[in-house]
Amino acid sequence: MLRVPALLPPIATLACLAAAPPAAAGDRYYHMGYEVIQVIDGDTDAIVADIPIRGATREADLTADRKHLYVATSRHLVHKVDLAQNRVVSTVDLSGDGWDRLMFGFALAGDGRTAYGALMSRRADKGEAVVGKPVVAQFELDTGKIVRSIEVPWGVAHLVSVRGGAQIYAFGQDLYKIDTTGPALTIAETVPMFDKGMNLLPFWDYAFDNGGVASINYYTAKYMGLLLVDQRTGAIDDVVLKGDPAMAYSVVLAPDRKNAYAVMDDLTVIDLQKKTYAASVPVAEGTCYGRTDLGRFDGSARPGRERAPVDRAVDLIPYRVGADRPSLSA
């Protein structure tokens, strides 16, 4: 069950997330930093393990059995983290064949052996820089080898797997629904967004720990909205919020789906039923990229508990083994 989270010290520019602990002993927080993942005990806020990792952490996704976390770092490395052993067990590099590749979106495929990435590429040719076309590519998790790809417009920066991996939603200036079921990847549908004045800000979205719902905030000249993507069905709920827009890097849903919580320089409660902003408080520590465990809305620690001594935290999402998750279709 996702707990409605408390604000942690947000300072750096790196993402962090939570995934399944090896045993049902409460919550664990997997806290992404630069060349380290810090494992935090959700009951005591104590750091119980440091997992060394190469590079600056970015996107991540959790395996279906919740035993491994795949973490992308430095825009081209993908690490497999064993959550029972708290260590990186393998790493692949997406650069190769003379190309430097940069990944700006990541999602595991349903087969357990491959993943998808939104890639840009470049190489040197006789002293000149050659820039490759942007693609969404499927690659092997064990080797990093690209098995197939499809060209997409510039600007794709976020991927969401839906319907068991039958489609990949690629979010950029528009939404491109990519069909993965045939021998070749194809764009089955393009959903216009840019012409509607919608600008997405999908910084940190961990649908696997948000009840299988990708929560992506966007902005127009007049308002902030939320695109809630049900991974099971592929349905998208466009929530247009009333009132002056709150700036946020990320949004997470409460388990009952009555509220959502957005954070940047302020922590904002969103009433999803009324589609309004219910309350807002400043983040004392500065800009925050994500949030977790709202013990008190005034930002103070819960009674008898100190804040975790985390020096690289920006985004934490709790996960409890075997608990119910919120769902758009509930």
pTM for the structure as a whole: 0.80
Q: Quick check: 303 pLDDT over 90?
A: no
Task: Kindly state the average pLDDT of the residues 236-241.
Answer: 94
Q: What is the pLDDT of residues 62-101, one digit of tens each?
A: 898 889 999 999 999 999 999 999 999 999 999 988 899 9
Q: Are 170 and 155 in contact (CB under 8 A)?
A: no
The model's confidence at residue 2, banded by pLDDT at 50, 70 and 90, is: very low
Q: What are the angstrom distances between the C-alpha of 116 and each of 19, 192, 233, 327?
A: 20, 22, 19, 24
pLDDT reported for residue 254? 84
pLDDT at 146: 96
pLDDT at 255: 80
Three-state DSSP at 126 gives coil
Of 90, 14, 3, which Cα lies nearest the Cα of 42? 3
Q: How far is CA 188 from the centre of its chain?
A: 24
Higher pLDDT, 283 or 140: 140
**pLDDT of residue 330 exceeding 50:** no
Secondary structure letter of residue 286 according to DSSP: S
- Bridge partners (DSSP) of residue 237 are 228
What tokens appear for 222 in the block?
């007049």
User: Helix or strand or coil: residue 8?
Assistant: coil
Using CA atoms, how far apart are residues 92 and 327, in angstroms rounded to an integer?
Answer: 33
40 pLDDT exceeds 60? yes
Residue 107 contacts residue 159 (beta carbons within 8 Å): yes
pLDDT at 206 (0 to 100): 62
Q: Tell me the average pLDDT across 165-191.
A: 96
Q: How far apart are CA 67 and CA 246, in angstroms?
A: 36
What is the pLDDT, as a whole number, of residue 248?
80
Question: Where residue 212 falls among pLDDT bands split at 50, 70, 90?
Answer: confident
Domain boundaries, the chain: 1-56+204-330, 94-202
